[in-house]
Amino acid sequence: MTATTTTLRVGTRGSALALAQSGQVADWLSSTVGVPAELVRVRTEGDVDRGPLATIGGTGVFVTGVRARLLSGEVDVVVHSLKDLPTAAADGIALAAVPRREDPADVLCARDGLTLAELPDGARVGTGSPRRAAQLRAARPDLDVRAVRGNVDTRLGMVADGTLDAVVLAAAGLARIGREDAVTERFTEDVMLPAPGQGALAVECRLADRHTGPYASALARLDDPVSRAEVRAERSLLGALEAGCSAPVGARAHSDGVRLTLTGLVIAPDGRRQVRGEISGRAADAALLGRRLAQRLFDDGAAALLGDLPLRAAAAAGGG
Ligand SMILES: NCc1[nH]cc(CCC(=O)O)c1CC(=O)O
């Protein structure tokens, strides 16, 4: 391990989820790896401008803002929810580590402890994600699926105050902010296939520091090769479909480090049509498996489903 006396500056936004994620990485660095790390709060355009996210460029505005602090040298490391990252690489930025990921599942948080099957006819269920909305409609065509925005606490509040009967969220996000108590059902993959990369963190540093920086080996120790292979397969599928993080695309890979099985889904916004597929191979070929599965999904008609996307959904932010 590199001996270093400097304290690593981990940049973070001020939201509960961002603070929890960045704090976790800073803790790992300090306690497990033995490299002192401190959190540095950064504000982004997205935090200042409260207007509709779509008008200021979607979720990407947060990612871009945080990365700018990295490139300017204000901070040394930044942490994102991996599923919120565009699939294209960013100039000057390296994915230094994908730590072992949390439960990638989606969960239902309903009033009165209800499960999906127990929700009454026409129940109001909130989500900002076309992927979740479509899978909800496929499972329960009677539901009144409503577009919601805001952070995890805001969404849970809509159930608590009776505005909604339920919301769908990521298990990992709830775990990170200590709100697993709100979960009333954990969805299996056949009901709700998660977003590519869901549950994983992306730890980024400047590309120039990737191998030679004083803390490169420290960051490398946070990496979990199995999680990295899984998310590589999932994001390779998403990239090959040329779909963004708000597209109705689900992906979930399972790997033991040697083999890898990837399941992919493209679903029409109304949930009535879907194309699903599965592929297995070597974990070392994760990216290739993602591209191959994308080709199979295209062969089975996925392009028409992606083409059906209403503009609203294409522009929606923070989908998940
Ligand atoms: N879309 C917003 C978002 N981005 C990352 C998470 C937390 C879960 C994760 O890291 O995958 C969430 C909340 C959610 O989808 O419920």
Pocket probe for ligand 1: among 13, 66, 84, the residue whose CB has the most ligand atoms within 8 Å is 84
Give the model's pLDDT for residue 181: 97
From the list 100, 63, 126, the residue with the least C-alpha distance to 228 is 100
Pocket probe for ligand 1: among 12, 13, 15, 17, the residue whose CB has the most ligand atoms within 8 Å is 17
Residue-wise pLDDT for 108-150, tens only, equals 999 999 999 999 999 999 999 999 999 999 999 999 999 999 9
Strand order in the sheet with 274-282: 249-255, 259-267, 274-282
Compute the distance between CA of residue 243 and CA of residue 196 in angstroms, rounded to an integer: 11
Give the model's pLDDT for residue 310: 47
Give the model's pLDDT for residue 1: 47
Nearest CA to ligand 1 atom 7: 173
Ligand 1 contact, 271 CB (< 6 A) = no
Pocket probe for ligand 1: among 155, 159, 198, 246, the residue whose CB has the most ligand atoms within 8 Å is 198
Give the model's pLDDT for residue 62: 86
Tell which atom from ligand 1 comes closest to the C-alpha of 155: 16
**Catalytic-role residue among 27, 49, 76, 84:** 84
Give the model's pLDDT for residue 215: 84
Query: 96 alpha carbon to ligand 1 midpoint, in Å?
Result: 20
Compute the distance between CA of residue 178 and CA of residue 32 in angstroms, rounded to an integer: 22
The pTM of this model reads 0.91
Ligand 1 contact, 152 CB (< 6 A) = yes
Query: 200 alpha carbon to ligand 1 midpoint, in Å?
Result: 9
Give the model's pLDDT for residue 142: 98
Query: 173 alpha carbon to ligand 1 midpoint, in Å?
Result: 5
- For residues 179 and 156, the answer to whether their CB atoms sit within 8 Å is yes
Could you tell me where the DSSP H helices lie in 101-195? 130-139, 152-160, 171-176
CA atoms within 13 A on the CB side of 320: 27
Give the model's pLDDT for residue 247: 77
Tell which atom from ligand 1 comes closest to the C-alpha of 84: 4
Tell which atom from ligand 1 comes closest to the C-alpha of 172: 8
Specify the DSSP element, H or E, that contains 261: strand 259-267
Q: Which residues of the chain have pLDDT under 70?
A: 1-5, 45-59, 244-246, 308-320
Q: Is 84 a catalytic residue?
A: yes
Tell which atom from ligand 1 comes closest to the C-alpha of 199: 11
> What contacts 160, CB < 8 A, 6 or more positions away?
none
| Domains of the chain and any CATH numbers | 8-100+200-223 (3.40.190.10), 106-186 (3.40.190.10), 233-315 (3.30.160.40)
